[in-house]
Amino acid sequence: MRQSQGEPGSQGFGAQVFSGQAWARRALVVAGLAALSFVQIFAHPRAAKPQASHQVAFQAGLSGTGAVEVHYAPAADLERVDLALLRQATRSIDIAAYLFVDQTLIEALADAAKRGVRVRLYLDGAQEASREGFGGRARGLRGIDKIELRLKPPGTEIMHLKSYVVDGKVLRTGSANFTYAGLKREDDDLVVIRDPAAIEAFAESFEAMWRRAGNMSEALDASRF
């Protein structure tokens, strides 16, 4: 009887040993996984902790085709990005903007018009009237008289886009105004899209704004004083 009574005790002790061994194995597995993660982190630091960049390029778009580029100021010089895009134009540039007063880009538009590119500019009328706007800053530039300029009437909801399409092939949009500060100093982004669906959507919207009843036209003066 003593022997039979001792057997359950020995079985309990064995179960305790087995349980301890199981927990030890589990602890080793957890430690191994932690070590593996540690190695992966230091082997691929960028993947483990993504770093912010002033430019991001990825494949995207409404129809899933074409590259999208995102540039961030002030780390990136957005004026240079705009300048490169405008200089590529061979047929047309359609711009819808809150204001357009960056002198370098104004000169780029005049150069484009001078080489035969059709340039249409749709601006917020209140902004154009309240400061030395596009018309004033462009005065005297050769080719500026070939640019078509229409204004959304003051007193209406503002024109607040910062967008254009070049040759029907590339769309520029984003938060950056066409000002020196907006392109170089402020926290802004500039998005370049080559997706046909996105470009078509902007083109349709632009034509509707361009034909809007009540728009004002402004003649641009190419003479020098």
Q: What pLDDT, in 10s, does the model give residues 77-94?
A: 999 999 999 999 999 999
- In CATH, 55-217 is 3.30.870.10: yes
CB atoms within 10 A of CB 45: 11
Q: Which pair of tokens denotes residue 200?
A: 């078509």
Q: d(Cα 117, Cα 147) in Å, to the nearest integer? A: 9
CB atoms within 10 A of CB 115: 12
Mean pLDDT (the chain) is 79
Query: Predicted confidence band at 129 (pLDDT cuts at 50, 70, 90)?
Result: confident
Residue 28 predicted with pLDDT over 60: no
Q: d(Cα 171, Cα 169) in Å, to the nearest integer? A: 7
Confidence (pLDDT) at 130: 82
Confidence (pLDDT) at 152: 95
Q: d(Cα 99, Cα 5) in Å, to the nearest integer? A: 95
Query: In the predicted model, what is the mean pLDDT of residues 14-40?
Result: 46
**pLDDT higher for 69 or 42?**
69
